[in-house]
Amino acid sequence: MAIVQWLARPADYATVWQAMRDFTEARTPATPDTIWLVEHAPVYTLGQAGKPEHVLDAGRIPVVRTDRGGQVTYHGPGQVVAYALVDLRRAGLYVKDYVCRLEQAAIDTLAGFGLPGARRHPGAPGVYVPASAWTGKAGAPSAGPLPGGDADLKIAALGIKVRNGRAYHGLALNVDMDLAPFDGINPCGYAGLRAADMAGCGVRAGLVEVGERLAGCLLSLAGLEASAGAPACGGVSARPV
């Protein structure tokens, strides 16, 4: 039975990261898979092989070198992070397939809130929306740094770490946040890549509602049996603890 749990908000990144490592180290073959839903205090995180030059101007926001894959991203208020602590061997999932399912969970969540057209980009992990979806005050770019020169906006980032067949870290979805800190980095290593959030694309939804829907989609796509009261991909039922 998989468990979905909200952590206290705002959550310190380093504290949650250490808790994920401790959980993964201590788990046994019988340990339930768990999804932690988190809203972080402002922080930049740099992946294990991330290049420091992609941090352009951190200002007063701390930068944490972490052990996930990927380059640099930003976490902060108004963004929900789903940390999926999953035994991939037990679930019969390969890493590439698991990453694809994480992305699909975000795509399905966005579609469920009336934002179709979200998609992947080969070679650029995460989830993107067309520039035409942006309704915010700042204009969307007419060209972009993604393969093919696409001007898509990044709305969800992901990065995982797998140790002894068990995954941790996960997926971050921008709900309704101050996007200015993304200007201080090359998001995910792409110079000039613009970030978007659901609110800027015309979707008004609460962080808790979005987080629970995202967790439900993750459970469904990973083939995990949910515990009683866990959220569903098409609806919400869990509450913060």
**pLDDT per residue as tens digits for the range 200-215:** 999 999 999 999 999 9
96 is a domain residue: yes
238 is a domain residue: no
Residues with catalytic function: 188
89 is a domain residue: yes
According to DSSP, the residues that pair with 162 across neighbouring strands are: 167
**pLDDT per residue as tens digits for the range 144-173:** 555 455 678 999 999 999 999 999 999 999
71 is a domain residue: yes
d(CA 178, CA 174): 10
pLDDT of residue 4: 95
172 is a domain residue: yes
| Contact criterion met (CB below 8 Å) for 50 and 71 | yes
Token digits for 179?
């996007």
Instruction: Tell me which residue of 2, 35, 12 sits closest to 170, measured CA to CA.
Output: 35
Whole-structure pTM value: 0.91
Instruction: Tell me which residue of 108, 126, 111 sits closest to 201, measured CA to CA.
Output: 111
User: What proportion of the chain, given as a percentage, has pLDDT over 90?
Assistant: 76
Token digits for 158?
């992901």
- Please give the mean pLDDT across all residues of the chain: 89
Characterize the bridge pairing of strands 3-6 and 34-38. parallel
Structural domain of 69 = 3-221
E strand intervals along 55-131: 63-65, 72-75, 79-87, 119-121, 124-129
117 is a domain residue: yes
Q: What is the CATH number of the domain that holds 212?
A: 3.30.930.10
Cβ-based neighbours of 164, under 8 Å, separated by 6 or more: none
Q: Which parts of the chain fold into alpha helices (H)?
A: 13-26, 88-91, 95-112, 207-221
d(CA 116, CA 105): 13
Element (H, E) at 46: strand 43-46
Q: What is the mean pLDDT of residues 56-77?
A: 96
Cβ-based neighbours of 24, under 8 Å, separated by 6 or more: 85, 163, 166, 168
10 is a domain residue: yes
Tokens 């052990």 -> residue: 67
110 is a domain residue: yes
Q: What domain count does the chain have?
A: 1
d(CA 18, CA 23): 9
